[in-house]
Amino acid sequence: MLDVITIGEVLIDFTPSGRTARGNEQFECNPGGAPANVAAALSRLGARATLISKVGDDRFGSLLHDTLMNGGIDVSALSFTDEANTTLAFVHLDDNGDRSFSFYRKPGADTYLRTQDVPFDRIENC
């Protein structure tokens, strides 16, 4: 029995991590996506959580799957697709530290989540 089910995007956030010697911005690869972040936070608090989402059948999708699993999140409703790559988001910070995002999803794997991917029986028993 699950305590919480989240549904939606899980993606890779590329967050600023300094600059090269030439002044080019560097980015660090981090798991992200609000529904995944909620599942991760609740799992750390002891809840039994799962995420219903879709990732690409690529290295980023595998990274997200493994990160969720290692965080104690049930990944049985996380599916893979070869129709699109895992969605990427580049995070930009302005001088005040406010964030903006550039998404790379044309389309992204998370947009391929379909009704048949949703385990309605698990939702009913949550």
Burial degree of 117 (CB within 10 A; 0-12, 13-18, 19+): middle
Tell me which residue of 68, 72, 70 sits closest to 53, measured CA to CA: 68
| pLDDT tens-digit series, residues 62-109 | 999 999 999 999 999 999 999 999 999 999 988 898 989 999 988 999
What are residue 27's DSSP bridge partners? 16
CATH class of this structure's domain 4-114: alpha beta
- Write the DSSP symbol of residue 30: E
pLDDT-based confidence at 15, cuts 50/70/90?
very high
- For the chain, which residues make up each domain, given as ranges? 4-114
Residue 43 · residue 69 · CB < 8 Å: no
